[in-house]
Structure 1
Amino acid sequence: MEKLVREVRILKIYAASLTFVCILFFFLAFKNQYSNERFKEIDVERINIVEKDGTLKMVISNKERQHPGSLNHKDLKPREREAGLIFFNSLGDECGGLVYDANEKESGMVYSVDQRKTDQIMQLQYFEKSGKEKNRVYGLKLWDRPDDFPLETLIKFDDSLKKLNNPDISKKAYAKLREEGKLGNERFFAGKTANGDVGVFIRDTKGKVRLKLYVDKNNQTHIEKLDENGNPVQ
């Protein structure tokens, strides 16, 4: 009888301990579900920011593991890209980013905003190249991009030309696209040019400079209106 009482007492203690452990696990799981982890410092080569359904929205990466970009939720062909941030929209397309780097000869940083289904239409950019004469350019640049020639079409066009393996045909084909406005054209730049001019430079729909308002490296002011051939207009 005493043995039975002792076994019942042990069973009660075991049951109580097991219940306590289960409750403890429940509260810990509940806490982890609704609380944020805190880190003082982490080292990581790449971070993918995703929605609950797994849709990729942003990549923070070093150069080696940088994302090649995507179109319609499909990754583009592998390519070398600098470290930085790449943004993606809910359509599964890359829609801009920030990349940067520097070495003993060159340095730069570019923040890009892409037009829907095509390439960049706005950039904040800085480039510098060392040498006998230092070349430094920085400012805001804008482009026009066509709605009827998306990036997907351009990629297919480029792939078909590469299969021909004929540089002359490729050059003529791209010249025709540019003339038709299919490749997009630079329209605006505000900043400092390589020759030291600081100002605003506006281009027409064909990408030709038509208006300049700037101060040159000798602190002389200029307002220049140009025709489509680059000749001054009085």
Structure 2
Amino acid sequence: MEKLLKEVRFLKIYSFVLTLVLCGFIFLSFKPLGKERFTEIDVERINVVEKDGQLKMVISNQARQHPGMFNNKPLPPRERQAGMIFFNSRGDECGGLIYDGNENENGMVYSVDQNQNDQVLQIQYNESRNGQQLRRTYGLKMWDRSDEFKMEKAIKEFAALDQIKDEQERKKAVQALRDKGYLGRERMFVGKTTDEEVGLFIRDNKGTPRIKIYVNKANEPVMEFLDEQGNKLKSAN
């Protein structure tokens, strides 16, 4: 009888503890969702999504960086620097901020992409070192992108180019795309060049330099106007 009473007592205690655990679980399960505050958090990647799960922004280290997306479909895996990547409501990548640096190279770039295409505007800083020689450039850069060569078509064309094994043939194929105006053409740069010229540099719709207004590294003001072959039309120092 004493043994039976002990077993009954044990079962009562066990039932009581189990009931407390179950109540705690139910309470936590129905706890209202709200804003959480953290003093510090370590994370390799954060995905910002809408209520329906649509991806809007990725903040990531280099190893887990998003490869990009078009029409809600991720692009093939590729190496990208750490930073932030933005996505619009169509499911296309539409810009971002990336950065990296080591003993030989350093840089940070903020990009704005044309709709269904590549970047058309960048704020950038880049520097590289070759031995004792340091080359540095930074400023605002702009491009034109063809509406006939949007990202969907570009992905297919570049995939076909990757299949060309002969280097010379591949260069010819790339040049053919450039001659059609399909590849991006730089139109303007405002900033400091690797030749230590600070100013405004404008190109025509073929990407040919046409106007340069700058101060050179000798602190001399320069204005240059060029023709389509790069010959000076007018200059003033």
- TM-score range for the pair, normalised by the shorter chain length: 0.7 to 0.9
Q: TM-score, normalised by structure 2?
A: 0.85
Displacement of 1:166: 2.6
- Looking at structure 2, the residues matched to 226 and 111 of structure 1 have their Cα atoms a distance apart, in angstroms, of 30
For residue 171 of structure 1, report the CA deviation from its aligned partner: 1.1
Residue matched to 2:12: none
Q: What's 2:190 paired with?
A: 190
Q: Does 1:25 align with 2:27?
A: yes
Tell me the secondary structure at the aligned position of residue 99 of structure 1: strand
Give the residue type in structure 2 aligned to 1:66. Answer: Q
Cα offset for 1:152?
1.4
Q: 1:219, 1:149 → 2: CA distance? A: 42
For residues 161 and 185 of structure 1, the distance between their equivalents in structure 2, rounded to whole angstroms, comes to 19
SS of 2:30's equivalent in the other structure is: helix
Q: Take 1:74 and 1:166, find their aligned partners in 2: how far apart are those partners?
A: 31
Give the letter for the 2:27 counterpart: F
List runs of 5+ in structure 1 lacking aligned partners. Answer: 1-13
> Which residue does 2:7 correspond to in 1?
none
C-alpha RMSD over aligned residues: 1.9
Task: Write out aligned runs for 1:1-234 (5 A).
Answer: 25=27, 29=30, 32-33=32-33, 35-130=34-129, 131-234=131-234
Specify the SS of the correspondent of 2:233.
Answer: coil
* One-letter code aligned to 2:46: I
Q: Distance in 1 between matches of 2:220 and 2:164?
A: 51
Deviation at 1:132, TM superposition (A): 2.1
Offset of residue 148 of structure 1: 1.2
- The count of aligned residue pairs is 213
TM-score normalised by length of structure 1: 0.86
Identity %: 56
SS at match of 1:233: strand
**Tell me, what secondary structure is at the counterpart of 2:41?**
coil
Structure (1/2) with the larger strand percentage: 2
Report the alpha carbon displacement of residue 145 of structure 1 after superposing the two structures with TM: 0.3
Segments of 5+ residues of structure 2 without an aligned counterpart are: 1-15
1:29 shift after superposition: 3.5
Code of the aligned partner of 2:85: I
Amino acid at match of 1:137: T
CA distance in 1, matches of 2:168, 2:160: 14
Q: Deviations over 1:5-38 (max 9, x none)?
A: xxxxxxxxx9xx99xx69x939x836x33x2011
Please give the alpha-carbon distance, in whole angstroms, between the structure 2 residues aligned to 1:133 and 1:232: 30
Secondary structure of the 1:175 match is helix
